[in-house]
Amino acid sequence: MSKISGKERAKQAIAFHDRGFNCAQSVACAFTDKTGMDEKTLFRITEGLGLGMGCMDATCGAISATAVLSGLKCSTGHTQAPDSKKISYEASASCLKAFLEKNGSLTCRELRGEDTGTPLRSCPGCIEDAVQIIDGYLFPEE
């Protein structure tokens, strides 16, 4: 099985967005091969993260998908004695920090330039950045 490049994965995610997926769905569904989850399940799990988490203009949906993906990658699933939160949090935080450094904000409203009229980054741009960051930080060895 050949590795999908970050650039190809980003194109796939943008194609999902063009079909009507929200930013979080677009990013998460581009990683079905890495998570072992099917597209429909990832689509459903990330639906509430759109437009800045629940349409609240808060954390960008594209990069908020990292929280879901880091849990899928790092969690041990030990529900009786949770033992993997720290590694999942660290993995998610590294992606969020990289996105913030690249784009100057994590906030959907700011990224879209809602208050200033000057967008920092378009939704497709945020999707592309999130995919490439997640691919490099969460799945570098794969």
DSSP 13-39: HHHHHHTT--HHHHHHHTTHHHHS--H
**C-alpha distances out from residue 45 to 1, 24, 39, 119, 122, Å:** 26, 9, 10, 28, 23
DSSP annotation of 3 reads P
DSSP annotation of 95 reads H
Tokens matching residue 104: 């100057």
Beta bridge partners of 59: 107
pTM for the structure as a whole:
0.94
Residues 74, 131: Cα–Cα separation, whole Å: 17
Q: Report if residue 142 sits inside a domain.
A: no
- Do 111 and 105 touch, CB atoms closer than 8 A? yes
Range of the domain at 105: 6-137
62-101, pLDDT tens digit by residue?
A: 999 999 999 999 999 999 999 999 999 999 999 999 999 9
> What share of the chain has pLDDT > 90, as a percent?
87
Average pLDDT over every residue of 45-61: 89
Q: Report if residue 30 sits inside a domain.
A: yes
Tokens matching residue 41: 């399940």
| Structure-model confidence comparison of residues 1 and 78, the more confident one | 78
93-135, pLDDT tens digit by residue?
A: 999 999 999 999 999 999 999 999 999 999 999 999 999 999 9
Q: Report if residue 1 sits inside a domain.
A: no
pLDDT (0 to 100) of residue 2: 53
Kindly tell me if the per-residue pLDDT of 16 is higher than 90. yes
Rg (CA), the chain: 14
What is the number of domains present in the chain?
Answer: 1
Average pLDDT over every residue of 19-31: 97
pLDDT mean across residues, the chain: 94
Q: Report if residue 96 sits inside a domain.
A: yes
Tokens matching residue 64: 């908020």
